[in-house]
Amino acid sequence: RRAAAMASRNFDVLRSPVICVLGHVDTGKTKMLDTIRRTNVQLGEAGGITQQIGATRVPAEALKERCRKARNFDPDSVKIPGFLIIDTPGHESFANLRSRGSSLCDVAILVVDIMHGLEPQTIESLKLLLKRGTPFVVALNKVDRLYGYESNPQKDIYQHLKAQSSNVQLEFKERYEKIVTEFAENSVNVALSNQNKNTDEYVSIVPTSAFLGDGIGNLLAYIVDYSQDKLAERLAFCTELDCTVMEVRSLPGLGTTVDVILLNGTLKRGDIIVLTGTEGPICSEIRDLLMPAPLREIRVKGDYEHYASIQGAQGVKVLAKGLDNVVAGLPLFVCRRSDELEVLKADAQKQLEKALTSIKKKPEGVYVQASTLGSLEALLEFLKSQKIPYSNVNIGPVHKKDVQKAAAMLDRNAEFACILAFDVPVDRDVQQFADRENVRIFQANIIYHLQDNFINYREELRLKRRRDNEHLAIFPCRLRIMPQNVFNARNPIVCGVTIVKGQLKKGTPICVPSKEKLFIGTISSIERNHEVVDLAKSGEEVCIKIENTTGEAPKLYGRHFTDKDDLVSRITRESIDVCKTHFRDDLGQQDWQLIVELKKELGIL
Ligand code: GDP
């Protein structure tokens, strides 16, 4: 297959490289895309976090214009027809860009804020890039925030840096070197792009200001050169179809359409296509192919141009019937011969099964459902970082069978009997079914909201469980009676005590270990400095009242026990378990030590 693919490659005709932007939140990814595309989508997005998918083609002419600013760049050397830039920055869209397990993204731009260095999502992105073997360049962004920096987007960034004041140069050097070290700590060697003699070993860094435009010419020039030098074989146009569904969208008047990245090969009107669906493989015929005008986004409403045939690499909107259940993040196949159809259908379905079964799950955890493989992957990554386990995953709308699967957790760990539904619909009857089954469904279109909802719910559950178990949680304490402060010697015993160790809580049963664990009653009130309290801590002196409501003969201070005998909480195996499960954080290390001591003294196994 590879030989056949090679044979059909044409090294004189290069396709546009597909470019993705990754990095930590707020490093300037969206701004970077805006600056490269000279559009502004930042304001219109939900919660400021862009989650829709489209692509922008930046034609060679526009690239030449921008790259001119980089010194030593020869505009006549540009052989690629342009860039195909994925509009949505971040992990999710990068993860959606896959074909048969490998990445469709040819070059990634990893944006790092020069003022912040490597941040958690930078490192996540870095890992993902290394795992997929995707080449990338680092945009060291926000150089304009160096104190005293003077901007000039028309100049080569390296020459321009040299012309800055010595303070600016010094600050740049310090910050840059710190970031080089941070990359090294993540096993990546980096070097400034104008000094990088070995791009196989060293990842290039380009200083930029996405905000003002400084360094953007250098960044683009670097990607052009790198693509043509290092990726020529990969970018050689190939007739074998390589096409991935990025997004499934329902549009007024057009029905459900799929936005695809056509990397290689040609799509034509009338082609029979095979796609992966949530309910099985989907086979349909291309009715029309749409693309926006150059330097416009595919998802801007209206203004589409119609095509009978389109050659990669392009972002294309495909119109066909029956695309409702298509799963984004997987390939689109074209059936050229009728005997291929069944094979392609089986292949399409296997893609999803393979992707879902390859995800490692825990025996106990939430049920996660997402609209695309990319968003699922991003969400799972996120849950992992939040230490929220998941036991099952699925793609597409929430069905009753998903609710049933999630309900299986009710027996194991009820807090996980819930579905985190990311950007997928839940029908009313499914919701009603879930209510009956006691399965909570959390729905959101922004990952962070979903997480917030789940965490709030978890906290609610935790507090409820504490309330339910409060009466069973016996906190450990050791008390010493103050003999001059015994106000009542029998039921109720009222006396002053020092809390030698542990925590004294209202409701605690008290016994005397030195008198064969004699039970004397339960703490019914605590006073500290004449003020009623529910809890007192080690070192404090309080007045307590011990009542015995069991009906047994009351135990008498001075006869059954004296101030020479310590009083302690009568803990039990059960109370220890309750404390461990629900009140672990209420007890400190000393308290847990005391529990161990009391276990011995009271002979608890
Ligand atoms: P994203 O979350 O990575 O997409 O970051 P945005 O593109 O939304 O940028 C986050 C904030 O940083 C916005 O307020 C931008 O205006 C600002 N920003 C982005 N790039 C630069 C830059 O080069 N310089 C400065 N000073 N601010 C920037």
Q: What is the DSSP letter of 553?
A: P
pLDDT in tens, 504-541: 999 999 999 999 999 999 999 999 999 999 999 999 99
Q: Ligand 1: which atom is nearest the Cα of residue 25?
A: 2
| Candidate from 337-341, 381-385, 466-470, 524-528 with smallest mean pLDDT | 381-385
Q: Which of 91, 116, 306, 399 is catalytic?
A: 91
Q: What is the per-residue pLDDT across 148-178, written as a single tens digit (0 to 9) for each?
A: 999 999 899 999 999 999 999 999 999 999 9
Q: Does the structure show a pLDDT above 50 at 431?
A: yes
Residues whose CB is less than 8 angstroms from the CB of residue 217 and which lie 6 or more positions away in sequence, other chains included: 66, 67, 68, 69, 70, 73, 153, 156, 157
Predicted confidence band of residue 99 (pLDDT cuts 50, 70, 90): low
Largest CA distance in the chain: 106
Tell me the CA–centroid distance for residue 36 and ligand 1, in Å: 14
Task: Write down the mean pLDDT value for the chain.
Answer: 88
Top-ranked range on mean pLDDT: pick from 186-190, 448-452, 601-605: 186-190
Ligand 1 binding pocket, CB closer than 6 Å = 23, 25-31, 42, 89, 141-142, 144-145, 209-211
Whether residue 91 lies in the annotated active site: yes
For residue 115, the model assigns a pLDDT of 97
Q: Which residue has the higher pLDDT, 603 or 381?
A: 603
For a substitution probing ligand 1, which of 30, 31, 110, 447 has the most ligand atoms within 8 Å of its CB? 31
What is the Cα–Cα distance from 518 to 595, expressed in whole angstroms?
18
Distance 25 CA to ligand 1 centre (A): 9
The percentage of residues in the chain with a pLDDT greater than 90, rounded to a whole number, is 59
The token duo for 418 is: 């819930």
Q: What ipTM does the predicted assembly reach? A: 0.98
Ligand 1 mean position to 148 CA, how many Å?
A: 19
| Residue 292 confidence (pLDDT) above 80 | no
Instruction: Write down the pLDDT at residue 303.
Output: 66
Confidence of residue 87 (pLDDT cuts 50, 70, 90): confident
Task: Give the pLDDT band (50/70/90) at residue 13.
Answer: confident
Q: What is the pLDDT of residues 49-82, one digit of tens each?
A: 222 236 777 878 778 888 888 888 888 889 998 8
Q: Which of 106-110, 113-117, 357-361 has the lowest mean pLDDT?
A: 357-361
Instruction: List, as one string, the DSSP characters of 262-321.
Output: EEESEEETT-EEEE-BTTS-EEEE--EEEEEPTTS-TTSSS-EEEESEEESSEEEEEE-S
pLDDT at 499 over 50: yes
DSSP string over 105-123: -SEEEEEEETTTBS-HHHH
pLDDT for residue 9:
67
Residue 455 pLDDT exceeds 90: no
What is the Å distance from ligand 1's center to 121 Cα?
15
Q: Do residues 546 and 492 touch, judged by C-beta distance below 8 A?
A: yes
Which residue among 24, 26, 219, 446 is best mutated to probe the pocket of ligand 1, counting the most ligand atoms within 8 A of its Cβ? Answer: 26
Nearest of 83, 50, 103 to residue 244 by alpha carbon: 103
Helix (H) or strand (E) holding 347: helix 341-357
